[in-house]
Chain A
């Protein structure tokens, strides 16, 4: 029944060691989003894919990259994680980008950078 799946749920990495987080969806939605959520804060949008079209937020560090090889999967790559990248990373999907389109979130990956 899970619609948006994230793996792993917990990830520990070392400072500077690249890490990849995975998201998959069974909804066949066009849009996939990646958010960063730090403790006691609202989610912050990093970027999104509209089909194969990548849309980066202006303030997203270059350290963060994303890939979407097909409709179902999207990956978040952190090339050289810093201590400040410790956070929950949330993937979300929506059918389209209209204002009535609901975003459906996955359970998140909690990343700890040591």
Chain B
């Protein structure tokens, strides 16, 4: 079946530090890959996505590249801010799609950024 594995957390960084959150997946075919962010007490917000191999998604200084050869979609940011403190979920949507297709999430990782 399809699965997403995220690195264990939580992660605590100082402001302006470099961030990497690892994500690897297992799926047949060519899934689409997503990063969602969830701020405390809120719903999920799409951070970025990539729909084919070698695509790079980017938003708000975050980037992730779809690596088919390593089945990975690691999230990076060059300089984190306190406001980036949240839970980050990696997810995939498999192909082919239909009634039984669903977004498969990783367990999520909590990022805390201290001033």
A interface list, Cβ under 8 A from B: 4, 6, 40-43, 45, 48, 50, 53, 55, 57, 90, 92, 97-108, 110
Contacts and interface: CB of A to CB of B under 8 A. Distances in A.
B42 interface: yes
B43 A108 contact: yes
Main SS at interface, chain A: loop
7 tightest A-B contacts by CB? A42-B105, A105-B43, A105-B44, A108-B43, A99-B93, A107-B43, A99-B32
A97 B94 contact: no
Interface size class of B (residues with CB under 8 A): 20 to 34
Interface of B: 30-32, 34, 36, 41-46, 49, 51, 89, 93-99, 101-103, 105-108
Contacts of A107: 42-43
